[in-house]
A and B are shown apart, each in its own frame.
Chain A
Amino acid sequence: MIFAAILAGGIGSRMGGTDTPKQFLTLGNKPVIVHTIEKFVINDKIDKIIVLTPQNFISHTNHLIEKYIPNNEDIIVIEGGETRNDTLMSSVNYIEGNFGIDDEAIILTHDSVRPFVTHRIIEDNIDAARKYGACDTVIPATDTIVESINGQTIESIPVRDYYYQGQTPQSFKINKLYNLINSLTEEESKILTDACKIFTLKDEDVHLVKGEVTNIKITYPYDLKLANTILEDIHD
């Protein structure tokens, strides 16, 4: 089976000026999270879509789905965890408890605040996860990356050609992901906020899937304003 986990656990501390998590703010005429879920709903290779939200947003999310994507039995809303890894584990545990996990089972994990993900990226993730076991969606870094340890002076400037910016989805064979997360110490678990990093630290290959510059993450108020401006343009 193929599962999508839409990670909407964040409380949006970087968004500022609002108490509503950014995934529930409006983009065009629908909440950001609805736009994101729709991209997975139309892909019939995906069997179940698990949306992970803070506990106090579960009912709200269910209402939104019922309103905008009615009568869809393949979307399930459950509580996410404290950290990204906890949220990931919540989805994996849910899958194990309700559907079972075989060696072919795949999970696509995607930020709820990346509504511009394309069908092509999702398809490429499914193909790469099936073939290689793990993949990460990336675009080549365009700005020069500068490393500074002390925040005052430059330590080094790595060769940009070797650097990419990570997006989502990140996709995995669930068995592998489950075993690796369970093998982390409590200390490691706190530091390793990125599932792909867990794979690379445990010497597992993570394949690159080409992302898109448009697949932005709505993190700051500016991002949402920009996205809304572009969408308003087409409605004129």
Chain B
Amino acid sequence: MINIVYRLKSPKFFEEAIDEIDMDGVIVRPTHLSICQADQRYYQGSRPADVLEKKLPMALIHEGIGEVVFDGEGNFKSGDKVVMIPNTPFGEDVCRANYSYSSKFRGSGFDGFTSDLIKMDSDRIVRMPEDFNPNVAAFIELISVAYQGISKFNEIAITPKEALGVWGDGNLGFITALFLKEKFPDSKVMVFGKHMDNLNLFSFADEVYPIHNVPDDLAVDHAFECVGSSASQSAIDQIIDLINPQGTINLFGVSEYPIPINTRMVLEKGLTIQGNSRSEREDFEGVVETLKQNPKLFEYLEKLVTNICEINSLNDLKEAFDKDYISKFGKTILKWNK
């Protein structure tokens, strides 16, 4: 079947394109999408030129929910609300599918969600309750990244989890700190950031500290780096200083540049560094279940919704990206009417 896809042709320039999809999977109509930093890097043209040349034109956006339009196999019925999983495995692997070389990712390896319809295999969508706030559900993908990082951390951490430190006062820092508190209610969750305005929103955390004003005797058992870019260097430095021996450092922040790490102290303290990126079906299911069990989390997560943009045209889409770019905190939600 013919499908219309809205692709980024070159930085800041979207175009309509015609695609063809088979009717052998589930056909989903996107309803609410959310802009990620990774999308913004393509839109602004801040990825290296050879990457842009190789990947564009491509539809952006890998965070979103939609409604099932058609399922030839009958697993879903028309109108079912679903969260879409952007990671798409091709074959089995010995590692988690979100780290497999053979997996492809929407809005990175192939078209993202900005299209009239999206064809997905039935294991690439997760049914969600009707009453979920769609503006929060739109970024369940981002929540699932924090969720899988926390699950992996739980598997490798051998020392106590009394003091957990989250570095970064942005969206992922907020979500990671919130879900740490949810999963380990008896632990002390401390957030370290640069912007007091943002840190003040972390009301669920036990402590918040500006990074330049941390008490001398403070220590954490495990750390979560949600800073990214070149600033992750100073964050990792501070983590290595404050972390207790045999703690884990869980990295989430993306940087375009290689980040130097004080390996001498990593060795001396016997630290474990674990990388985190993307997520898989079990993480999406875990997030949906957690939100179902504890709807109060929506109240906190709603604070992250800073822009809600109705998208009726490609110009609206451009304006939404521009608005998102100048927003210091929070998520830009695209109400998809295109």
Contact = CB atoms under 8 A, between A and B. Distances in A.
Interface of A: 27-28, 35, 38-39, 41-44, 115-116, 118-120, 123, 210, 212-214, 227, 230-231, 234-235
Q: Which of B2, B337, B338 has the most CB of A within 10 A?
A: B2
A35 B2 contact: yes
Contact of B2 (A44, A115, A120): A115
Q: Is the interface of B mostly helix, strand, loop or mixed?
A: strand
Nearest to A118: B116
Interface string B96-137: 000000000000000000001100000000000000000000
Interface residues of B, number: 19
Contact of B338 (A42, A120, A235): A120
Contacts of A227: 18
B16 to A, nearest CB: 5
Contact of A42 (B1, B16, B312, B337): B1
Given A35-B2, A116-B2, A234-B17, 7 more contacts: A44-B78, A119-B69, A119-B117, A210-B312, A212-B16, A230-B18, A235-B20
Contacts of A119: 29, 69, 116-117
B69 A39 contact: no
Interface of B: 1-2, 4, 16-20, 23, 27, 29, 69-70, 78, 116-117, 312, 337-338
Contact of A39 (B1, B16, B18, B78): B1
A118 B4 contact: yes
A38 B20 CA distance: 12
Given A120-B337, A231-B18, A39 B70 contact: no
Contacts of A231: 2, 18, 20
A120 B2 CA distance: 13
Nearest to B27: A42
A214 B18 contact: yes
Given A38-B23, A119-B69, A234 B4 contact: no
> Top 9 closest A-B pairs, CB basis?
A42-B70, A44-B78, A118-B116, A38-B1, A230-B18, A214-B16, A35-B2, A214-B4, A119-B117
Contacts of B70: 41-44
B2 A39 contact: yes
Contacts of A35: 1-2
Q: Which of B69, B116, B337 has the most CB of A within 10 A?
A: B116
Contacts of B18: 116, 214, 227, 230-231, 234
A234 B19 contact: yes
